[in-house]
Amino acid sequence: MSAADNHDARPLVVFAVATAAERRVVERSDITAHGALLVQTGIGADRIRATMPDILHRRPAGLVSIGVAGGLSAGLKPGAVLLPRKILAETGERFPVTMPWRDRVCADLAGTPIESGELISVAHAACTPADKRILAEQSGAVAVDMESAELARLARRHAIPFLVIRAVADPWNTRIPAAAGQALTVDGAIRWTALLTALLRQPADVGALLRLGIAFRSAARALDACGRQAGKSLCRPDPTCLL
């Protein structure tokens, strides 16, 4: 479901995902059963700026950046759940999430290991273990994505409660093959012809792509479990709000 499809909607909470694959994961969970709106923004800050202000100026009750992330810490395996306290931009800006909201979600996820360290958002994907190691050393972040900082910036501008929940899909020692990047459009859809063409040119990427797919499934299972366990809290930034 796109932002344009819901131009007139006034959702209680907006869940923003970047890609079609992430959207399908969230749709399968119980998160949106509580009356929230799921928006596929596309990849990166530019797509966030293009799709989200139209919705955020309507002042929804909250904004959640949800989906997958890359791990920058050796302790984060595929499927590790991230609920960072702060989001770091490449500019050096830090955006705190809404802590009372985060704390209630964490309480609902009791028994699930939660990583609280900073997540950094970057303009260009960290595709190799070397890229991730350098990014971790320079930023101190434990994970990376391409959208959360811009979402946090917009949420702050519109005075909207903000939360990030992500799961690790590519750990620190995993290479993202070039075929994966070439197959994704900026809107977050997969171009299957482009993927097959890239793999024919670089057949060695097949193994890396399969490993990435297995890791993504671990992340998908983790997000699904979080949605089913903490869906009501995720959709209730204000605990006095009745759904």
Asked if residue 189 belongs to a domain, the reply is: no
Give tens-digit pLDDT for 67-77: 999 999 999 99
List the structure tokens of 181: 């990047």
**What local confidence, expressed as pLDDT, does residue 15 receive?**
96
Task: Return the pLDDT at 156.
Answer: 96
Does residue 186 belong to any structural domain of this protein?
no
Domain that holds residue 148: 4-176+216-234
Residue spans of beta strands (DSSP E) within 32-150: 37-40, 62-71, 81-82, 86-89, 94-96, 114-115, 119-121, 143-145
Q: How far apart are CA 163 and CA 234, in angstroms?
A: 9
pLDDT digits (tens, 9 = 90+) for 9-43: 445 899 999 999 999 999 988 787 887 899 999 99
**Residue for token pair 């344009």:** 4
pLDDT of residue 198: 67
- Examine residue 30 and state whether it is found in any structural domain, yes or no: yes
Domain count, the chain: 1
Q: What is the pLDDT of residue 243?
A: 41
| Domain CATH code at residue 146 | 3.40.50.1580
Three-point CA angle 70, 76, 77, nearest 5°: 90
pLDDT-based confidence at residue 78 (cuts at 50, 70, 90): very high
- Residue 196 covered by a domain: no
Q: Note whether residue 112 is domain-resident.
A: yes
Evaluate whether residue 194 is within a structural domain.
no
Residue 240 has pLDDT above 80, yes or no: no
**Which has the higher per-residue pLDDT, 9 or 226?**
226
Alpha carbons 224 and 205: distance in angstroms, whole number? 28
pTM as predicted: 0.87
Sequence-ordered strand ranges (E) for the chain: 13-17, 37-40, 62-71, 81-82, 86-89, 94-96, 114-115, 119-121, 143-145, 162-170
Could you report the per-residue pLDDT of 140-193, keeping only the tens digit for each? Answer: 999 999 999 999 999 999 999 999 999 999 999 988 877 666 666 667 677 667
Q: What is the three-class DSSP state of 163?
A: strand
Tokens linked to 227? 């949605």
pLDDT of residue 184: 64
- Predicted local confidence at residue 103, as pLDDT: 96
